[in-house]
């Protein structure tokens, strides 16, 4: 592991007990996150991206069994496996070393508390010891995320702000604990495209300014290609392809990645929008063999009978397919 690695997920899997038996929901997840880089998680809904994000935060569903490791590296290069530490230790990491930006920022905020107070409440203890310097830090954070008139925003209740402003307040709150990693799970679902781009630009600027590493679940593949260094393509609880965004965008190796790129291209070219024929299988009743085979135009007999393993196809790229493109 090199000194730039901040998170190393190795062979992570999670199974849930459903109707008396354990079903592997996600399996064989491998990736590393480098300090100051952005990893975008992409793929259709229902592929396990949100469950993976929650797992990275140690939010494992009750009764679930996990395997593998989620190794988090501190600045002193000490390693903690999120899956092996106590809930008490996880509480010292969640919201602090790893920040969270929720899908619906409004629902993560208290409607009867002013925004500034809500950020103040999650500041590190040293800031809270002195109300004046704590309040100043809150204003600085609101300014950092690009809000005009941060003093007014701090005095506002969430319902007094627009969706884009609320998302920025939520971003300031996520940064309040001074995290080294920020996980954002589809943070823009309620926003129009221009607001999404504006916040992604702010996050990219902050990434450089604060040496922050980002893991972002993005629905919009075009945005993922533009704002990430690495891409992790998930489908039915598996990583189908993982590697550098530049390489994957020009030469995708997995048929599912290629299909996603073709759909995105058809939208951006304003031609007749394509879709991927068929539906993603339910994550709790997956298909046998390669999970993508019912929808894959390259499927052969072997694809229906046995699941392919993830294989290295380049220095930093992995693909789970018998017949990479």
List residues near ligand SF4 by CB under 6 A. Answer: 255, 290, 292-293, 296, 298-299, 303, 308, 321-323
- The residues that bridge with 21 in the sheet, in sequence order, are 18
Closest to ligand SF4 by CB, 137 vs 291, is 291
CB of 254 closer than 8 Å to CB of 276: no
Taking the C-alpha atoms of residue 254 and residue 100, their distance in angstroms, rounded to an integer, is 30
Separation in Å, CA 314 to CA 42, 309, 319? 20, 15, 9
Closest to ligand SF4 by CB, 168 vs 293, is 293
Residue 255 Cβ vs ligand SF4, minimum distance, rounded to whole Å: 4
Provide DSSP, 284-307: TSPPSSSTTGGG-TT--HHHHHSP
Residue 319 Cβ vs ligand SF4, minimum distance, rounded to whole Å: 8
Q: Which of 225, 215, 288, 278 is nearest to 44 (CA)?
A: 278
Closest to ligand SF4 by CB, 31 vs 322, is 322
Number of residues that make up the chain:
325
Residue 261 Cβ vs ligand SF4, minimum distance, rounded to whole Å: 14
Separation in Å, CA 301 to CA 238, 294, 307? 20, 11, 11
Taking the C-alpha atoms of residue 21 and residue 12, their distance in angstroms, rounded to an integer, is 19
Q: What are phi and psi of 193, to 5 degrees?
A: -60, -40
Closest to ligand SF4 by CB, 161 vs 321, is 321
Closest to ligand SF4 by CB, 234 vs 296, is 296
Residue 9 Cβ vs ligand SF4, minimum distance, rounded to whole Å: 22
Closest to ligand SF4 by CB, 137 vs 293, is 293
Name the residue with tokens 């190794």. 71
Residue 308 Cβ vs ligand SF4, minimum distance, rounded to whole Å: 5
Closest to ligand SF4 by CB, 43 vs 255, is 255
Q: What is the Cα 255 distance to its own chain's centre?
A: 22
Residue 19 Cβ vs ligand SF4, minimum distance, rounded to whole Å: 28
Q: What is the Cα 49 distance to its own chain's centre?
A: 7
Closest to ligand SF4 by CB, 179 vs 237, is 237
Residue 10 Cβ vs ligand SF4, minimum distance, rounded to whole Å: 23
Q: Which residues have CB under 8 Å from 261's CB, separation 6+?
A: 221, 249, 252
Residue 247 Cβ vs ligand SF4, minimum distance, rounded to whole Å: 18
Separation in Å, CA 102 to CA 37, 196, 264, 271? 20, 14, 25, 33
């Amino acid at each position: 592991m090199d000194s730039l690695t901040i998170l190393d997920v190795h062979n992570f899997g999670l199974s849930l007990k459903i109707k008396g038996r354990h079903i592997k929901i996600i399996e064989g997840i491998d990736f590393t996150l480098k300090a100051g880089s952005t990893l975008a998680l992409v793929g259709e809904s229902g592929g396990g991206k949100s469950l993976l994000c929650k797992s990275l935060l140690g939010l494992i569903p009750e009764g679930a069994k996990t395997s593998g490791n989620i190794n988090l590296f501190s600045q002193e290069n000490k390693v903690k496996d999120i899956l092996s530490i106590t809930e008490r230790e996880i509480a010292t990491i969640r919201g602090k070393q790893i920040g969270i930006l929720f899908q619906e920022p409004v629902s993560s905020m208290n409607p009867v508390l002013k925004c500034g107070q809500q950020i103040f409440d999650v500041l590190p203890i040293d800031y809270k010891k002195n109300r004046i310097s704590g309040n100043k830090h809150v204003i600085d954070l609101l300014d950092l995320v690009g809000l005009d008139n941060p003093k007014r925003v701090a005095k506002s209740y969430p319902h007094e702000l627009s969706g884009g402003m609320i998302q920025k307040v939520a971003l300031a709150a996520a940064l309040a604990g001074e995290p080294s990693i920020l996980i954002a799970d589809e943070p823009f679902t309620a926003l129009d495209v221009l607001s999404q781009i504006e916040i992604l630009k702010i996050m990219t600027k902050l990434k450089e300014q604060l040496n922050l590493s980002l893991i972002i679940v993005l629905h919009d593949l075009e945005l993922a290609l533009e704002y990430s260094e690495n891409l992790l393509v998930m489908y039915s609880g598996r990583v189908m392809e993982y590697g550098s965004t530049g390489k994957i965008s020009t030469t995708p190796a997995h048929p599912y990645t290629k299909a996603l790129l073709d759909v995105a291209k058809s939208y951006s070219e304003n031609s007749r929008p394509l879709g991927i024929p068929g539906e993603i299988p339910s994550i709790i009743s997956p298909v046998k063999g390669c999970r993508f085979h019912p929808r894959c135009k390259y499927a052969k007999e072997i694809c229906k009978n046995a699941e392919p393993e993830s294989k290295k196809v380049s220095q930093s790229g992995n693909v789970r397919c018998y017949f990479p493109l």
